[in-house]
Amino acid sequence: MNALKGIALQIGATFLFTIMSALVRIVSDHVPTGEIVFSRSFFALFPLLALLAWRGEIGAAVRTDNPLGHIARGTIGVCAMGLSFAALARIPLADATAIGFAAPLLTVMLAALLLRERVQIFRWAAVIVGLGGVVVMLWPHMHGSFDTPGHMFGALYALMAAAFTAGAMVQVRRLTQTETTAAIVFYFQALAALAGLATAGWGWVLPSGYEGALLLTIGFLGGVGQILLTESYRYAPASVVAPFAYSGMLWSLLLGFILFAEIPPLLVLVGGAIVIVAGLFVIWRERQLGIDRTREEAATTPPAAPTP
């Protein structure tokens, strides 16, 4: 175990995912969401397969005892990815990131409802407070603080993406009972690429050289980010490294300002802070209870910067 190395890898992964999200925001002006989903997933396979081959884990990646479980995880995850990309096309980068931080809180709710996981009053209280922060973040988008109605839909897409991300994490928890991390990651990327390819008949465009380079970079950054994320859990438990995923808020604020001259409304920042505090409390409480999410966290591919 090397906590500092694990933390550094988590921060690096979060930084790469935030850059990826910024590039998605740029390319979304001209490239359909389904085409971006395909590129994000297909090109991510190359660094992932290279790492698996170097470790001799290709066999473990393709071996599965639960193909239907992978299909369910892939379906939910693709919905999360598509919705998050649709949100990035419509609202500022920091707003999409902050709303996405609701996913871990929603995961607690779904785990209690679907997995019968015991959730005590302290975590329920954190979830309720965090969801209050989500309402605060959504308020500017729902009440005309922006000039275009697309912002309202973008905020709703981001919230729906967080909900689907939570569903994907619950499904990953089921899969970790029988499947390896390599298999969960590989099958999701492969199924997401196929799902994106299936949208080719609905308005795909021939990208320019610049746009093609962006699409390739989006996939490559997603794949490398996934590797760094998975590696971070080799060196430290989830309770140690997961809080540093919230560094994505800092990166998104910086990149949003530098690349798009975006300054989030005060209510978005306040709501984001509430959600982050609630999420950190959930992580701290799970550590106190001895709950280790390492395997499912490592096997979860964030659709955008903030989602585990």
For residue 237, what is the DSSP state?
-
Q: What is the pTM of this model?
A: 0.92
> What's the sign of the alpha-carbon dihedral 288, 291, 297, 300?
negative
What is the Cα–Cα distance from 49 to 274, expressed in whole angstroms? 38
115 pLDDT more than 70: yes
- Please state the length of the chain: 308
Q: What is the tens place of the pLDDT at every residue in 12-64?
A: 999 999 999 999 999 999 999 999 999 999 999 999 999 999 999 899 899 99
Looking at residue 26, what is its pLDDT? 96
Helix axes 181-197, 209-235, angle to 10 degrees: 160
CB 60 within 8 A of CB 293: no
Q: What is the tens place of the pLDDT at every residue in 124-145?
A: 999 999 999 999 999 888 765 5
Q: What is the tens place of the pLDDT at every residue in 59-85?
A: 989 999 999 999 999 999 999 999 999
Q: What is the tens place of the pLDDT at every residue in 154-210?
A: 999 999 999 999 999 999 989 988 898 899 999 999 999 999 999 999 889 999 999
Distances (CA, A) of 97 to 194, 198, 237: 26, 27, 24
Looking at residue 94, what is its pLDDT? 94
What is the Cα–Cα distance from 219 to 222, expressed in whole angstroms? 5
Looking at residue 302, what is its pLDDT? 66
Residue 171, phi then psi, degrees to nearest 5 = -65, -35
Tokens 């709303």, located at residue:
99
